[in-house]
Amino acid sequence: MSPPAGFGANLARRVATAAVALPLLLAAFFLGPPLLGAGIAAAAVIIGLWEFFALMRARGLVPFRATGVVLLAAVFVEVGRPVAPASLWPAVALLTLVSLLARGADFAATVPSAALTLLGAAYLGAMGGAIAALRLLDPEPAGAWRLVLLLAIVMASDTAAFFVGTAAGRRRLAPDISPGKTVEGAAGGLAGGVAGAAVVRVLGLPSLPLAHALLLGLAVAALGIAGDLLESLLKRWAGVKDSGVLFPGHGGMLDRLDSLLFGAPVLYYYFSLLR
C-alpha cells in the first residue's frame, strides 16, 4: 500500500506530539504520587466523554451532559472496589428519568440520546477506571511500571501497525469500518505489542514471567485493535475523520484512548489475581 498524501507531514506531527507527551507522562508516573496517574486517567476520560458527546451532536442527538458526567465518575471510582458498579444503576436510572422529564421534550425522541449518553459514560468510566486502578493496585514503582507496560504495548502495536500497514498492507481488515487498516498492519501490530511487553518486562518487571508478558502483549494488542475499530465505527457513524484535534497528528483524546481503554482491564485483572 503506497503512503497516503501528506504522509511525511503527518508522521512528523505524530512524532513531535509523542516526543512532548511521553516524557511528561513518564515523569508523572514515576515522580508523582500514585493518585497523580489516576488523576491523569480521570481527566483523559472526561475529555473523551466530551468528544463522545460531540460525536452524538454530529448525528443530531442531544447528550445528557450532567447525567453522563455523574455516571462516568461513579463507575470510574468503583472499578477495583468490592462494591460492584451494578449497584449504582438504580440511582443512575432515576437520574436519567428525572433528566428526561426535566428536559420537557418528546419522551420517545429523547430516549436514543439518553441511551447513548449512558453507554458512552459507562464505557469510558469502566475502562478508564481500570487504567487508574492499575496504577493504584500497588505502590510505586510497580504500579508505575504496569502503566508503562500498558503504554508500551499499545504504542509499539500502533507504531508497528502503522509502518507495516503502510509498507506491506494489501488485504483490508475491515473495509466498511476503516478502509485504511489492513490484515498485514494488524499482524504487525500484534507483533509490536508482544515486543513492547518483552522490553518493559526486561526493564522494569523482572518478576513477571516472560511467557505471561508475551501473552499479555498479544492480548492487549489484539484488544487494542478491536478498540480502534470500534472508535472508527463511531467516527464513521458520526461522519467525522477524528474525534477531536487535541493531539496534532493523532486526533482527539478518544483517538488516543481507544486501544488503552480496551487493554487496561486485561492488565488490571491479571495483576489483581497475583495479589
Sign of CA dihedral 64, 65, 68, 70: negative
Q: Residue 7 has what pLDDT? A: 53
Q: What percent of the chain has pLDDT over 90?
A: 36
What is the arithmetic mean of pLDDT over 195-200?
Answer: 97
4 has pLDDT over 60: no
Quick check: 29 and 147 in contact, CB under 8 A? yes
What's the confidence (pLDDT) of residue 88?
58
What is the Cβ-side half-sphere exposure of residue 165, based on CA atoms within 13 angstroms? 23
> Could you give the dihedral angle defined by the CA atoms of residues 208, 43, 81 and 222, in that order, rounded to the nearest 10 degrees?
-40
**Grid cell for residue 89:** 444503576
- Flag whether pLDDT at 221 surpasses 90: yes
Average pLDDT estimate for 70-85:
72
- Across the strands, what pairs with 178? 174
Evaluate if residue 145 carries a pLDDT over 80: yes
Length of the chain equals: 275
CA dihedral 91, 92, 98, 99 (to 10 degrees): 160
Q: Tell me, what's the pLDDT at 66? A: 82
Per-residue pLDDT averaged across 128-133, rounded? 90
- Going from the C-alpha of 118 to that of each of 17, 39, 77, 113, the distances in angstroms are 32, 22, 16, 9
Contact 80, 133 (CB under 8 A): yes
What is the rounded distance in angstroms from the CA atom of residue 173 to the CA atom of residue 162?
13
**How high is the mean pLDDT of the chain?**
84
First to last CA, the chain: 46
The pTM of this model reads 0.86
Contact at 8 Å (CB) between 186 and 225?
A: yes
C-alpha cell of residue 52: 463522545
65, 171, 172, 180, 224 from 184: Cα distances, Å? 40, 7, 9, 11, 16
Contact, 70 vs 95, CB < 8 A? Answer: yes
pLDDT, tens digit, for every residue of 204-215? Answer: 999 999 999 999
213 compared with 59, residue with greater pLDDT: 213
| Residue 10 confidence class, pLDDT cut points 50, 70, 90 | low
- Cβ-count burial 130-154 (b if 16+ within 10 Å, e if not): bbbbbbbbbeeeebbbbbbbbbbbb
